Amino acid sequence: MRFVVRRGIFYLITAWAAVTINFVLPRLMPGDPVAALLAKSQGQIDSSAEDAIRLLFGLDQDASIWQQYVDYWGLLLHGNLGVSFMNFPTPVTEVIAQSLPWTVGLVGIATVISFTLGTLVGMGIGWRRGTWADGLLPATTFFSAVPYFWLGLIAIALFSVTLGWFPASGSYDRSMIPALTPEFAGSVIRYGTLPAFTIVLSSVSGWILGMRNMMVTVSSEDYVTVAQAKGLPERSVVVGYAARNAILPQMSSFTLALGFIVGGTLIMEMVFSYQGIGFLLYQAVGNHDYPLMQGCFLVITLAVLVANMAADVIYAVLDPRTRQEG
């Protein structure tokens, strides 16, 4: 229980830090791009939306910084992130809500596949050291040393432009109307395969390496030797004794890797023009849509925090020591 409370407090602090970074950033920046944009769109933005943007970006010089901070929190707690310049006059929250499910789906599925595959392969390589399987390591290292987006470009060049197996961009067939039909689902899967494949390819090596190194360490532990000496079948030694313990650090590194994976996925969406939150961020940067940019950052960070909490709970379930500690 103490573990959960401690982590809970930590996530609250992190969420507060993310919001505060978001508050402070535009106030630290030299120049006033937002003011310029507001002046340009004079008369198009209605007064209440303009007030929100002024507040979000600290253009209200009359109020003290503390007052601004309080008002800022007030806006956030009402779910008001301002109005998107790009998709004027849609509120930022609405724009983000449309794209968030796409990202969550893509990242979720790709990450689960990558984690499972990497852990299994790492288990195999770590157990059978000194065989041909060791040759897999340099190959996967190559894929992780390459930036995500370049791998995406190559995948597009190979599989969509040359071979024509998968579409190069988008997230579903634009001629279809989004609905819960098998055709539409098929189209989503067809469009999502290539991005997901690239994410898996570039993130799997981290899991392989981590698991392999843990297997190397764990397989020289006494309890593994004992299990082997008892004459247990190799399969149960590997799965029940070695891998079971080696997987725990994998779980804890999962929480740390998540931010990194999310960053990579955002880039992947930009390359594939996949209509998730990364693509949205990309468009926001390109169009100087500052409220949308900030909103994206905030939502991404909060989503990562939620995923981290989930991973923590799973970890506590898997490892009894964390539960007993308090």
Partner 1 sequence: MATTTTTAVTTTPTPDGAGTPAIRRRQRLLFLRNAKAMTGLVIIGVFAVLAVIGPWIAPMDPDALSSDVLSPPSAAHWLGTDHLGKDILSQIMVGTRGVMIVGFTAGILATVIGVLVGVTAGYIGGAGDEALSALSNVFLVIPQLPLIIVIAGQLPSAGGLTVAAVIAVTGWAWGARVLRAQTLSLRRRDFVEAARANGERTWRILTAEILPNLTAIIAAGFVGTVTFAVISQITLAFIGVTSVSDWNWGTILFWAQQNQALARGAWWWFAPAGLCIALLGMGLTLVNFGIDEFVNPRLRSTGLHARELRRRGIRPRIGFTPVVHEAEEGRR
Subset of residues 59 to 118 that bind partner 1, contact rule: CB under 8 A: none
Among positions 2, 78, 129, 323, the unique one binding partner 1 when judged by CB under 8 A? 129
The residues in 140-159 that bind partner 1, with binding defined as CB under 8 A, are: 141-142, 144-150, 153-154, 156-157
Nearer Cβ to partner 1, position 77 or 161? 161
Among positions 33, 89, 108, 186, the unique one binding partner 1 when judged by CB under 8 A? 33
Cα separation, 203 vs 118, in Å, equals 9
Residue 87 structure tokens: 């998709």
The residues in 230-289 that bind partner 1, with binding defined as CB under 8 A, are: 237, 242, 255-256, 258-260, 262-264, 266-267, 270-271, 281-282, 284-286
Size of the site for partner 1 (CB under 8 A): 72
- State how far the alpha carbon of 79 is from the alpha carbons of 96, 217, 262, 296, in Å: 12, 48, 23, 13
Helix axes 244-272, 277-286, angle to 10 degrees: 40
The residues in 172-231 that bind partner 1, with binding defined as CB under 8 A, are: 213, 216-217, 219-220, 224-225, 228
State in angstroms the smallest separation of the CB of 184 from partner 1: 26
Nearer Cβ to partner 1, position 93 or 169? 169
Among positions 41, 44, 116, 131, the unique one binding partner 1 when judged by CB under 8 A? 131
Alpha helix positions (H), the chain: 2-28, 33-40, 47-56, 65-77, 92-127, 136-145, 148-155, 182-218, 222-229, 234-236, 244-272, 277-286, 290-318, 320-324
Nearer Cβ to partner 1, position 101 or 147? 147
Nearer Cβ to partner 1, position 150 or 185? 150
Among positions 246, 301, 312, 322, the unique one binding partner 1 when judged by CB under 8 A? 301
- Cβ neighbours of 154 (radius 10 Å): 12
State in angstroms the smallest separation of the CB of 314 from partner 1: 16
Determine if 53 is a binding residue for partner 1 (CB under 8 A): no
Cα separation, 138 vs 297, in Å, equals 34
CB-based contact 199:207 (threshold 8 Å)? no
Task: Spell out the residues 6+ positions from residue 9 whose beta carbon is closer than 8 angstroms to its own.
Answer: none
